[in-house]
Structure 1
Amino acid sequence: MNGRARVAWNLRRIRAEKQITQEALAVDAGVDRTTISGIERAEFNPSLDLLDRLCAALSVDLAELLVVPAAHEGVPPLPLKAGRKPKR
């Protein structure tokens, strides 16, 4: 798994675990929602500054985005249900 795919996998995993929508993360990080979507699909190559902002918005260390997924994590995290989410 290359670095871009690893960041994509971990960003989606962390965001899903914290029950944060792409839109909410985008607002907290000061980017457009399509940027988050592009990163999670490994189509967008984020800068270190953007990764720092995403980590701050998610309250995780940058290293969390670079962790190699365990072998049992072969299936990507399920998307959140559609619709509005309760305020955090």
Structure 2
Amino acid sequence: MTPRELLAWNIRKLRVERGLSQERLALEAQIERVSISQIERKQVNLGIDSLGKIAQALNCAVSDLLMSPLPGDEMPPVLRPGRKSGS
């Protein structure tokens, strides 16, 4: 996987595990929701400051966002559409 693919995979995985919508993650990271969508679709390069904000919002280390998935790991599922409750 490329670094961009790893980042997209891990942000989506951690976001889904925490039950956060893209909108909620963006709000907590203080970045645009469309940016989260573009990152997860591997359409943009992420600046280091935004990477740090996302890691903080997901309560993880920046290095966790670049970890390779384990063999057999499946793509994280898509959350049901609609607003998710805040944590």
TM above 0.5, yes or no, is yes
Separation in 2, partners of 1:67, 1:53: 17
Summarize the alignment of residues 28-47 of structure 1 with structure 2, pairs less than 5 Å apart. 28-47=28-47
**1:39-80 CA distance string (max 9 Å, x none):** 01111110111100001111100010010111111x311111
Question: Residue 84 in 1 paired to residue 58 in 2?
Answer: no
> How far did 1:83 drift?
1.7
Summarize the alignment of residues 1-88 of structure 1 with structure 2, pairs less than 5 Å apart. 1-73=1-73, 75-88=74-87
Percent identity for Structure 1 against Structure 2: 37
| Structure 2 gap ranges (5+) | none
Q: Which amino acid aligns with 2:52?
A: D
Separation in 2, partners of 1:87, 1:48: 25
Q: Which amino acid aligns with 2:33?
A: R
Separation in 2, partners of 1:44, 1:76: 19
Q: Which amino acid aligns with 1:34?
A: V
Separation in 1, partners of 2:81, 2:60: 25
Task: Tell me the TM-score normalized by structure 1.
Answer: 0.94
Native 8 Å contact 2:22 2:37 kept in 1? yes
Native 8 Å contact 2:24 2:84 kept in 1? no
Which contiguous aligned blocks of 4+ residues in structure 1 show a shift greater than 3 angstroms? none
Aligned pair count reads 87
| Structure 1 gap ranges (5+) | none
**1:1-34 CA distance string (max 9 Å, x none):** 1100000000000000000110001011111111
